[in-house]
Amino acid sequence: MFKITKETPPYFPKKAETMPFWESFFEKNLKAFFQDKPILDSIFVHKEAFEVIKNHIGFGKDTEDNQVEQGGLLFGEVIEYKNEDSEENKTKFIGIVNYALAAKTAEGSMRHLHFNHATWHSLLEEHEKIEEKESKKQLIGWYHTHPKHLQVYFSHIDKENHLTFFDADWHFGLVLNPQREEIKCFLGNEFDEVLCILE
Ligand SMILES: [Zn+2]
């Protein structure tokens, strides 16, 4: 079985206060959502990345290709944020997706997306190429579709996939229904549903 293994040091989410871009990013993209309330676990998908996903899965369309499950990988950054005044003062994760990579060889079916060996192999090869070009592109999660009449949720098989390939508490999983234009976002090994923010 293929695993995401790399020789580079393991990735850890970056603390918000140490990120130079955080203040301006928050002002521009998140402030309107949270206003004066505590920040929640969430994932922010930059327009460029969502365009890749939209084009791949025919979001908002009913096409020949999107009758079966499709999927891919999400790259970006994860910010660790502590709400100072929150009663629980619990660490929150904010995923920032800068880039998405569509899996071309996944064998979709109406029920499951089979990320088979070939799929992971080609995705990981692509991933290596990206990293050579731009080292800051960190793999932070994955996306896949539940087409047509299927509900948007993390199925038993999705949970297994997630725990196999994305086992950190800051890994995100997105599920989309292209025909219904629905999207739900899940986080970590408890698969908590979190806020999805599309730029
Ligand atoms: Zn699924």
Residue 6 reports pLDDT greater than 60: no
How far out from the chain centre does Cα 19 lie? 20
171-195 pLDDT per residue, tens:
999 999 999 999 999 999 999 999 9
Looking at the domain assignment, is residue 59 inside a domain? yes
Which CATH number characterizes residue 101's domain? 3.40.140.10
Looking at the domain assignment, is residue 115 inside a domain? yes
Mean pLDDT throughout 77-87? 84
Distance 37 CA to ligand 1 centre (A): 32
**0.75 cut: is pTM over it?**
yes
Burial of 85 (0-12, 13-18, 19+ CB in 10 A): exposed
Distance 57 CA to ligand 1 centre (A): 14
How far CA 8 is from CA of 5, 138, 154, 199, in Å, comes to 9, 11, 30, 30
Distance 174 CA to ligand 1 centre (A): 9
Mean pLDDT throughout 115-120? 65
27-80 pLDDT per residue, tens:
999 999 888 888 999 999 999 999 999 999 999 999 998 988 888 999 999 999
Looking at the domain assignment, is residue 90 inside a domain? yes
pLDDT at 125: 76
pLDDT at 129: 73
Question: Which of helix, strand or coil describes residue 99?
Answer: strand
Looking at the domain assignment, is residue 64 inside a domain? yes
Mean pLDDT throughout 5-28? 85
Distance 38 CA to ligand 1 centre (A): 30
Looking at the domain assignment, is residue 1 inside a domain? no
Tokens for 158, please give them.
Answer: 């999705």
User: Can you give the residue range of the structural domain that contains 52?
Assistant: 35-183
pLDDT at 35: 87
Per the structure, how many domains does the chain have?
A: 1
Distance 17 CA to ligand 1 centre (A): 35
Looking at the domain assignment, is residue 149 inside a domain? yes
Distance 188 CA to ligand 1 centre (A): 15
